[in-house]
């Protein structure tokens, strides 16, 4: 992935194992803070939808294996997924959870300057000597880099 900071090009390094080792303390803090902030949120509604969706997916897979008609199950799954995506309570709860996670992430990026200095130089190829750790644009730049790294770790097909 390519980035621009102060009109200079930077590329996310491809050695994911080394980057993961560098970012592990950040990831560990993030997971701890995420658990602390989200543990008391009632997510039963989300879990109920996910459980029903997964059950239908399993039933469809079994139906395919048994060469049964899965048209009704497929329609039920599509309707349930639509209900999930359109349910105002789900939308509000997911928005709240995402905002909390983003807040935690931003706090970690902005609060630990030493970790930020070490990891930013190790994460990208380019003229890292121009990094200005007091520049607000730098924080936007490095937040994108870290976010993209974690996205590629979750889904390796994203490049």
Domain boundaries, the chain: 2-154
Kindly report whether the global pTM for this prediction surpasses the value 0.95: no
What are 61-79's pLDDT values in tens digits? 999 999 999 999 999 999 9
Distance CA 63, CA 52 (A): 16
Which secondary structure element, helix H or strand E, spans residue 3, and what is its range? Answer: strand 2-5
Distance CA 45, CA 98 (A): 16
Which residues does 47 contact at the CB level (< 8 Å), separation at least 6? none
- Encoded tokens for 139: 């924080």
Distance CA 8, CA 128 (A): 10
Distance CA 29, CA 15 (A): 22
Percent of the chain, pLDDT > 70?
Answer: 96
């Amino acid at each position: 992935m390519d980035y621009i900071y102060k009109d200079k090009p930077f590329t996310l390094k491809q050695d994911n194992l080394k980057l993961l080792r560098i970012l592990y303390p950040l990831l560990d803090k993030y997971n701890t803070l995420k658990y602390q902030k989200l543990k008391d949120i009632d997510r039963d509604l989300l879990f109920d939808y996910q459980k029903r969706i997964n059950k239908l997916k399993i039933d469809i897979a079994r139906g395919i294996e048994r060469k049964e008609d899965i048209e009704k199950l497929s329609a039920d799954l599509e309707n349930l997924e639509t209900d999930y995506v359109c349910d105002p309570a789900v939308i509000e709860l997911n928005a709240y959870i995402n905002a909390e996670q983003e807040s935690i992430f931003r706090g970690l990026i902005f609060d630990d300057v030493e970790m930020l200095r070490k990891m930013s130089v190790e994460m990208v190829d380019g003229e890292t000597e121009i990094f200005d750790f007091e520049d607000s644009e730098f924080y936007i730049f490095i937040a994108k880099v870290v976010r993209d790294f974690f996205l590629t770790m979750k889904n390796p097909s994203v490049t």
